[in-house]
Structure 1
Amino acid sequence: MEELAEQGPLTEEQEAELAELQPKVAQQKQKKKEGDAERHRARKVAAAVLRSWRRWRSRGR
């Protein structure tokens, strides 16, 4: 966006293309954010399972 602003005013074609791309970019950002959140939750669950397993294992000795 900043690069476009430095180039001066957009043509009507460029404005139309930008308007078409903005929702797609927003959707991609949202999907990435959701994927990142899902991976974070999975790591937290894995860490909890590992802690539980280690506690169980230490009691067995």
Structure 2
Amino acid sequence: MEELAGRVQLREEQEAELAELRPKAQQWRKRKKRNADRYRVETLLPIGLRCWRRWRVGGR
């Protein structure tokens, strides 16, 4: 969004709309990162634990 604002002359309505969308975009990025973090924990952690347990007991 900032790239677009820097390239083009925006009208007042567009400036107001952009200002309104910035916080929403930031929330979306945070939610996306939180979902990615949750995915890593819920899917990759159990896999890592299984591998670690097998290694710990001697590779069964």
**Shared fold (TM-score, shorter chain, > 0.5):** yes
| Percent sequence identity over aligned pairs | 32
The CA distance in 1 between the partners of 2:34 and 2:7, in whole Å, is 33
CA RMSD of aligned residues (A): 2.0
> 2:11 matched to which residue of 1?
11
> 2:50 matched to which residue of 1?
49
- Within a 5 Å distance, the mapping from 1:35-46 to structure 2 comes to 35-42=35-42, 43-46=44-47
Q: How many residues align?
A: 56
The CA distance in 2 between the partners of 1:56 and 1:36, in whole Å, is 32
Deviant stretches of 4+, over 4 Å:
none
Higher relative contact order (CA 8 A, sep 6+): 2
Larger Rg: 1
Unaligned runs of at least 5 residues, structure 1: none
The CA distance in 1 between the partners of 2:6 and 2:17, in whole Å, is 15
